[in-house]
């Protein structure tokens, strides 16, 4: 078994989108949007190709990770560049076998090597706390609504990277597709049934949970 992590090539685009769709289908809500996010991110100025990778098993792609530029805007209107990653996708048959961790750890090491300062992302805390992510409340960085959520986390890539930076985090517009675009894009893939599943409510709770932790 040979595992390879490399940058995505143009010929990989469709298979990566198909894997992403399969990985997220009916996970957070009926259907999925992440395959469209991948499609949009590649074409957007905020895309960071040098940090975006695919992972292959015996030359067969089984997953991917994508990075984009983001920013923190302080109370004076000052803009502080940061980065974020997502979606992170692994084919369903290869999930929970460590491949996602390999992708994340590889990309984090590369982000540090290239001199990026910090990562802020949204997700389940149990996915990202093991890598050192903590609630952005620790750094007084809120969402644009002024609230601190447990599912919005930060990771400084070097000591002091977020010192003196506070305000609200703003992710790339590529992460917010119009629903009409999603419907049209999804029609280019094989039909899949959208289902309402019990675990989807866990995501709704996670994204709305206020961070009350005392840092």
> Is residue 48, in this structure, part of any structural domain at all?
yes
> Is residue 58, in this structure, part of any structural domain at all?
yes
User: CA–CA separation, 6 vs 105, rounded Å?
Assistant: 13
* DSSP state for residue 47 in the 8-state scheme: B
Give the total number of structural domains in the chain: 1
> Is residue 185, in this structure, part of any structural domain at all?
no
Cβ proximity of 20 and 64 under 8 Å: yes
- Residue 62's pLDDT is 98
- Residue 194's pLDDT is 97
> Is residue 145, in this structure, part of any structural domain at all?
yes
> Is residue 24, in this structure, part of any structural domain at all?
yes
Strands 141-142 and 167-170: parallel
Phi, psi of 175 (to 5 degrees): -85, 0
- CATH for 13: 3.40.630.30
- Residue 129's pLDDT is 97
Across the chain, which has 215 residues, the per-10-residue mean pLDDT values are 96 98 97 97 98 97 98 97 98 98 98 98 96 98 97 97 96 90 95 95 89 95
> Is residue 207, in this structure, part of any structural domain at all?
no
- Residue 206's pLDDT is 85
- Residue 198's pLDDT is 92
> Is residue 184, in this structure, part of any structural domain at all?
no
- Residue 122's pLDDT is 95
- Residue 14's pLDDT is 98
> Is residue 123, in this structure, part of any structural domain at all?
yes
- Residue 49's pLDDT is 98
The predicted-structure confidence for 119-149, as pLDDT tens digits, reads as follows 999 999 999 999 999 999 999 999 999 999 9
Cβ proximity of 137 and 148 under 8 Å: yes
- Residue 203's pLDDT is 86
Token pair belonging to 25? 């289908």
Domain that holds residue 109: 3-176
């Amino acid at each position: 078994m040979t595992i390879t992590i490399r940058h995505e090539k143009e010929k990989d685009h469709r298979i990566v989108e198909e894997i992403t769709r399969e990985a997220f289908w009916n996970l957070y809500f009926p259907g999925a949007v992440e395959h469209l996010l991948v499609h949009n991110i590649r074409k957007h100025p905020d895309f960071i190709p040098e940090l975006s990778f695919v992972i292959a098993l015996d030359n067969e792609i089984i997953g991917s990770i994508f990075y984009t530029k983001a920013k923190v805007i302080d109370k004076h209107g000052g803009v502080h560049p940061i980065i974020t990653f997502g979606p992170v996708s692994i084919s369903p048959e290869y999930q929970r076998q460590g491949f996602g961790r390999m992708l994340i750890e590889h990309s984090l090491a590369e982000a540090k090597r290239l001199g990026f300062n910090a990562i802020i992302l949204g997700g389940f805390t149990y996915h990202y706390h093991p890598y050192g992510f903590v609630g952005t409340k620790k750094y007084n960085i809120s969402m644009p609504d002024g609230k601190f959520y447990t599912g919005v986390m930060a990771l400084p890539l070097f000591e002091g990277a977020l010192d003196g930076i506070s305000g609200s985090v703003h992710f790339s517009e590529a992460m917010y597709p119009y629903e009409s675009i999603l419907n049209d894009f999804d029609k280019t893939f094989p039909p899949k049934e959208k289902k309402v599943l019990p675990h989807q409510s866990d995501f709704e709770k996670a994204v709305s949970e206020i961070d009350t932790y005392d840092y």
